[in-house]
Structures are given as structure tokens and as C-alpha cells.
Amino acid sequence: MAHVQCLAILSIVAVLVGVACGSAHAAERTDRVVLYSYLDIADAGTKGASVAETGEYSVWVWAPDKSFDVVRIGSTELPPVKRNKPAPGFSWSRLGRVTLRSDRHFMIKIEGGTPPDTVGYVALSRDSDFRPSKGFEISRVFTDNPGAARDRRLTTVRHTDSFLTIPHYRPKEEWLSRAEQLRRQILVAAGLWPMPDKCPLNAQVFDKVDRDDYTVEKVYFESYPGFYVTGNLYRPGRGDGPFPAIACPHGHWGRGRLEDTEGGSVPGRCINFARQGYVVFSYDMVGYNDSTQVKHRFGSNRETMWAIHPLGLQLWNSIRVLDFLSSLPDVDAGRLTPEEAQAIQVHSDGNIMCVIYTVNVF
């Protein structure tokens, strides 16, 4: 189970390295390359497998060193490659060549171990220049580690009776190192590692409403080329500035940033801050109010495996919100830390965005 994420990603990468995706539990294949996941290997060991083209195939395996005794393709036995210096974790190695016929099924068996702990993938290729490791250059964020991704949630199951021991970091450098790990983990999960290039905001601020002690304006700007962040800008009605500023994402209110009920009022909060002397930008989560280019929950499991999902888009939008606030002439762009009153104010699921936002920006 520890390898499921890597295997699913590599299945998608098969398209990019010249292997067309097939159905579930069917090997990913073209006429010249067949890629078997550990699930496919189990099926091929009982039901058999086939190729579309008769000829000689190079046999590649993705496995740790010394994790199996023999890979058997039909009647051909292929022992593991002996290295002078063992590779760490999982890595690709070429075992040799087999001759296969398109009109005959053959079995694939791993002897001396059980997939996926022994062999995660078997690749058969008719192309002499085929290199499955190239897939990792496309699919993996950190290419210096060829092994399977390790997710401790698969080995340590937390439940309602679990206890959390709050870690203590001493000295300060220990916490800074941990903070950098958290920042990188969040950015990777959000699909923002490395960070995308920032496009021009092309911000539009218009339809000003003056309420004497505060003003409200409509705003939209581009976080990505052609994708717009929408919201309302609240400013103090008195004073010359520059003013501290507040970014205000909302939670899952029925009316988003326009929620105004006894239970909570997003406009009321923003008005209150503007009267106190803050510039406040209240902006839509994707799929709410004026942000209608994508749905609030968009994408399938396929896109999620490539970190294309609402979390990444909303975090990037929030990062660009700071750029927008910094660009305003009445905002003190030099005060962009929470300690100096440049802050984030949230409610409900906006709290989650607040934590992620703060870790990655401040």
C-alpha cells in the first residue's frame, strides 16, 4: 500500500513516456511498450498476459535490490541485476530480453517475494532507447529519490482515541528547519512546488460606494493568465494612509463573501475593520459568487494525482491577494507580517486556508 500513490502517478506518466493508458487492471500499453503495475502482475500470474506485436522485448523492473529471486516471463527466467553498489530503495533495472508472440498468452511471476514490496512495475519494451526512469523526471517532484513515496498514514492509523503529543522545538533553528519542511510539504501537496511564475495582475477596481467612514469597491484581477480573483475592497473613509491591510477569505457560508446573517456577517466584519483604519480585501473562494470559471469542487482523481485541485488554486489566489494589496497606493506594502497588523481574518474553512496561507507566505 505504501507504493499506491507512486504507482498511480506512474500509470498516468505512461502516457507521457509513450505508453497509452488502458483500463483498470489492464496493463498500460502501446504496440511497442507494455507497463504492468503490481496489480497487473498479480493478474498476469494467474490469467496470463499478451503483447500486440511479436518480437523481442527488453524487460525492466522497478524494485529494490535483492528483493526477489527471479522474474519469470513465460518460460524465460530473469534473475535480478547484480550491482557493485546497491541502489537505495526502488529503482529501475533492465533484466534482459525475452521473445514473445502476439498470438500466445504468457505468465508473469515474481519468485522469492510478493509485489508490491518486491516489484512495483514490470515494463516490456520493443524500443531499444526506452528508459522508464524518464517517467520520474515528469511525475516526481524530487527526482533525487527514485524510491516509492512513503506515507506513514498507511502504517500509523489515527482514530478518535489517539493522543497527539505536541512537539517542542529547541533551539530556534530546530523549529525553523521543521517550518521549512511543512512549507515544502504544503506547496508540494498544493501543486505549487516549484512556485509558478507570477503573471501581471491587471487589477480592475471600480463601482466605488462611499459610506462616509468607509468605502466599498468591486475588484477583479488575474492570478493566472485568464483566471480571475473576484471580491470587494473595503477602505477607511477618513485618513491619508498608508494603512495596514487585511486579506479576508471566507468559509463555506451559503452566500460566501456576501453572507450577512445573525450567525455571521462577512461584510459587517470588513466594514468594522475599515472603520478602524484597515484596508480589507474580501475575496471569493473558487466557485462562489463572482468566481464562476470553475466549480468549487472541480477535477477528478486523475487531476488530483497531479495536484490540480481547489486547494492549490485557492492557495495561489491567496498569495496573489497579497500582491494585489501590496500594489495599492494607500497600503503600507512594507508591513506584510501578522505582527505588524498586516493580517488574515477568516471564518469556518477559511481557517484552514489561513493556516496554509500563513505557513507559506509569512
pTM of the model: 0.65
> Tell me: the pLDDT tens digits for 106-149?
999 988 876 666 788 889 999 878 888 776 666 667 755 545 56
Tell whether 15 and 103 lie within a shared domain: yes
238 band by pLDDT with thresholds 50, 70 and 90: very high
pLDDT at 27 > cutoff 70 = no
CA distance 224 to 233: 20
Please check whether residue 138 lies inside any domain of the structure: yes
Tell whether 337 and 238 lie within a shared domain: yes
Please check whether residue 11 lies inside any domain of the structure: yes
Please check whether residue 192 lies inside any domain of the structure: no
Tell whether 125 and 218 lie within a shared domain: no
Specify the pLDDT at position 143: 58
pLDDT at 360 > cutoff 70 = no
Tell whether 211 and 278 lie within a shared domain: yes
Tell whether 226 and 342 lie within a shared domain: yes
The HSE-up count of residue 113 (CA atoms within 13 Å, CB side) is: 20
Tell whether 99 and 242 lie within a shared domain: no
H or E element in which residue 14 lies: helix 4-16
CATH number of the domain residue 137 falls in: 2.60.120
Tell whether 215 and 329 lie within a shared domain: yes
CA distance 179 to 79: 45
Specify the pLDDT at position 108: 93
Specify the pLDDT at position 205: 98
CA distances from 265 to 251, 255, 345 (A): 11, 10, 13
Tell whether 16 and 102 lie within a shared domain: yes
**Percentage of residues in the chain having pLDDT higher than 90:** 41
Of 128, 152, 176, which one is at a domain's C-terminal end? 152
Of 152, 168, 188, which one is at a domain's C-terminal end? 152
Tell whether 216 and 139 lie within a shared domain: no
Please check whether residue 179 lies inside any domain of the structure: no
Tell whether 147 and 44 lie within a shared domain: yes
H or E element in which residue 317 lies: helix 310-327
Tell whether 145 and 218 lie within a shared domain: no
Specify the pLDDT at position 39: 79
Please check whether residue 105 lies inside any domain of the structure: yes
CATH number of the domain residue 230 falls in: 3.40.50.1820
Pick from 320, 345, 336: nearest CA to 250: 345
Q: How many domains does the chain have?
A: 2
Tell whether 235 and 337 lie within a shared domain: yes
* 33, three cell numbers: 511498450
Give the least confident one: 144-158, 189-203, 297-311: 144-158
Domain residues for 289? 204-361
Please check whether residue 98 lies inside any domain of the structure: yes
Please check whether residue 183 lies inside any domain of the structure: no
Please check whether residue 170 lies inside any domain of the structure: no
